[in-house]
Amino acid sequence: MQKTLVDKIPIALPKEIAPYVEGAKVYDSSCNSEAKVYFIEREGGYFLKVASKCSLQREALMTDYFYSKGIGAEVLFYGGNNCDILLSKQVKGEDCTHESYLENPKKLCDRLAEELRLLHKTDFSDCPVKNKMQEYFALAERNFRTGNYDKSNFPDSFGYRSADEAYSTFIKGKDDLNGSVLLHGDYCLPNVILDDWHFSGFIDLGGAGVGDRHVDIFWGLWSLAFNLKTDRYRSRFIDAYGKDLVDEEKLKIIGAIEVFG
């Protein structure tokens, strides 16, 4: 986790949050332009996320849900006037991009696969977001119509030669994807927290909900290759997760959807 010490958080904070910040060291740990994330160094640590109005509503809801299952951070505050503010306790440990984990890629690969399999076994009968796949498809449809064909994060576009080719694969295959497990929605190394190799919890749950397991499997494979700078652990991850549960054709469909953001 990147951390840069700051003098103060440059917005007016709700009175409920002030006691957590006053007198504490605060660090900017933001990693993208969509939200500002601050780490508050007090007690076990807190994270404060600030983003545009209503943009953190789903994340607050699903983080609280995962916490109720014992696999997420405790939400202490969600609200704000002109923007969204989400305060949560730090999950003990380090995310899986920490050098101590990257130095042992085989063990890391196995832990990521095993924790994903356990997540996908979680009872989701009370999950507040059961329409993940419908939303997922709708976003791809909308981005295709508006020309949002993402080649910045995926330079090879997962082998698709054009937006039309990827869209055709998506349309033909989407009915084969179903809502059958509790998904993280962005299952990548920075979003899985381990404490000396013991699982602590998941973070960044704005994309979570009930959906097809191949969404998480796809991102787990992508993140391993991206962070380890090699695709050599792909088969190992699938074997550790459960080869009998993985359909390569469905992973290709997910790839076709993801090029549309």
Tokens of 246: 């993985």
pLDDT of residue 105: 98
pLDDT of residue 81: 82
pLDDT of residue 156: 61
Residue 195 is a catalytic residue: no
Cα-trace Rg, the chain = 19
Query: Which mean pLDDT values do the consecutive 10-residue runs of the chain (261 residues) have?
Result: 80 90 91 86 94 95 98 96 94 96 98 98 97 95 88 64 91 93 98 98 97 97 95 97 97 93 77
Closest CA to 252 of 221, 208, 224, 225: 221
What domains lie within the chain, and their CATH numbers?
Answer: 4-89 (3.30.200.20), 94-258 (3.90.1200.10)
Backbone angles phi, psi at 201, to 5 degrees: 165, 175
pLDDT of residue 197: 98
Backbone angles phi, psi at 181, to 5 degrees: -140, 165
pLDDT of residue 80: 85
Length of the chain equals 261
Q: Classify the C-alpha dihedral 246-151-139-183 as positive or negative.
A: positive
Closest CA to 185 of 49, 101, 46, 61: 61
DSSP state letter for 195: E
pLDDT of residue 153: 58
From residue 91, how far is each of 3, 204, 220 by CA, in Å? 16, 12, 20
Helix (H, G, I), strand (E, B) or coil at 69: coil
pLDDT of residue 11: 85
Closest CA to 1 of 47, 44, 33: 47
From 186, 204, 212, 216, active-site residue: 186
**Is the pTM of the predicted complex or chain greater than 0.75?**
yes
- 94-95/181-183 β-pairing: unpaired
CB distance 135 to 58 below 8 Å:
no
**Neighbouring residues of 175: CB distance < 8 A, sequence distance ≥ 6:** none
CB distance 157 to 148 below 8 Å:
no
Q: Measured between alpha carbons, how far is 211 from 209 in angstroms, rounded to an integer?
A: 6
